[in-house]
Chain A
């Protein structure tokens, strides 16, 4: 089971499109759009639809709701308050698109509701580019060349982050002078690593070796492309 995600938007198309995008990176997560008004599909937020979407998204581990503008937040909060168990869902203040992607990847990796919410909320902050102290003892590193078509773009970055879920190690990816947190899709994407680029993966912690092996296997398999 994973934490579910509900995307509350004034526009049905926006919510649906974003659910589709986020699902690309998190195939096992229930991501449910709740956009637009019910009758005629006009612009607005529909309380009943949001409540229904929360129920559909919840597989038992709770739900994180993201919203676009103004009344979408109020509708989302009201929907959560009205649930039989209001503590099963939480409305997160996050940039909708980045937050949805970050939340979806965190949920796919098995994060709990709090961690999924935090992943979404922190998506609005500047990516933490420096993750592993290069001078710390016991840092293992490995250089890899990206052969896949899109480099460390959204889906491969998401696959990489997911592969590290549950592994006890700090991981970072270096490209040239820049280094990104290996647990953050957005930070990895912000490196802009493309096909043919040589990245250096660094890991630190009890399972550093396993983390490096996971990333190496992914890169060698072209992230399943």
Chain B
């Protein structure tokens, strides 16, 4: 039981709704330590993905992920565009032209997304970035995938739970990447907006896969 291209499209539409719901929250998180455009930018990007999917849903999960990547790269200004764009692009490369995403393929895609984000942004765990949500998410996904009767939905749920906790952990960190790093110690006490949006997206994917 895997996830087809239509399943990925459903997940992306769900993600667009979640981003729209949390647009103001993300703007406020970003305003505290950045330039306040994270919610606006992501919302614009996912709205554009939904529009593109209305025209045509590509036939494989990999192609849908690639459509998401190119749309985010083109439509999202700021660091989130190239970072999320790279995540989806690397994931789409792993998905290749498989007709369905099963658990091992999902794991490969998640790992590739994390590696892509780290290569692009050069952030490591503890820098108070989206990587702090992604690293625990991928570890949790690996654990869940190793269990008996692991499912795509189950793996994503475990990843989303871990991403939530990882995002929360950025509150206590001194940012070392991006605009927030200019604030140094003064940014401690603030949730990183990128880590938050990563957790929100994984949650949306997990819910859509249920």
A-to-B contact residues, CB < 8 Å: 37, 42, 44-48, 70-71, 74-75, 77-78
Contact = CB atoms under 8 A, between A and B. Distances in A.
A78 B77 contact: no
Contacts of A70: 79, 178-179
Interface string B146-168: 00000000000000000000000
A46 B85 CA distance: 13
B5 interface: no
B178 A77 contact: no
Contacts of B83: 74
B77 A42 contact: yes
21 contacts: A37-B77, A44-B77, A44-B78, A45-B78, A46-B77, A48-B74, A71-B77, A71-B78, A71-B79, A71-B81, A71-B82, A74-B79, A74-B82, A74-B86, A74-B120, A74-B121, A75-B82, A77-B120, A78-B82, A78-B85, A78-B120
Interface string B71-101: 0011001110111011000000000000000
A75 B73 CA distance: 8
Interface in B112-147: 120-121
Nearest to B35: A43
A44 B179 CA distance: 13
B178 A75 contact: no
Residue among A44, A46, A71 with max Cβ neighbours from chain B (10 Å): A71
B73 A47 contact: yes
- Decide if the interface of chain B is mainly helix, strand, loop or mixed: helix
B77 A45 contact: yes
Nearest to B81: A47
Contacts of A75: 81-82
A37 B81 CA distance: 12
Contacts of B178: 70
A78 B73 contact: yes
A78 to B, nearest CB: 5
A220 B131 CA distance: 60
A71 B82 CA distance: 8
Contacts of B74: 47-48
Contacts of B79: 70-71, 74
Contacts of A45: 77-78
Given A37-B77, A48-B74, A78-B86, 20 more contacts: A42-B77, A44-B77, A45-B77, A46-B77, A47-B74, A47-B81, A47-B82, A47-B85, A70-B178, A70-B179, A71-B79, A71-B81, A74-B79, A74-B83, A74-B86, A74-B121, A75-B82, A77-B120, A78-B82, A78-B120
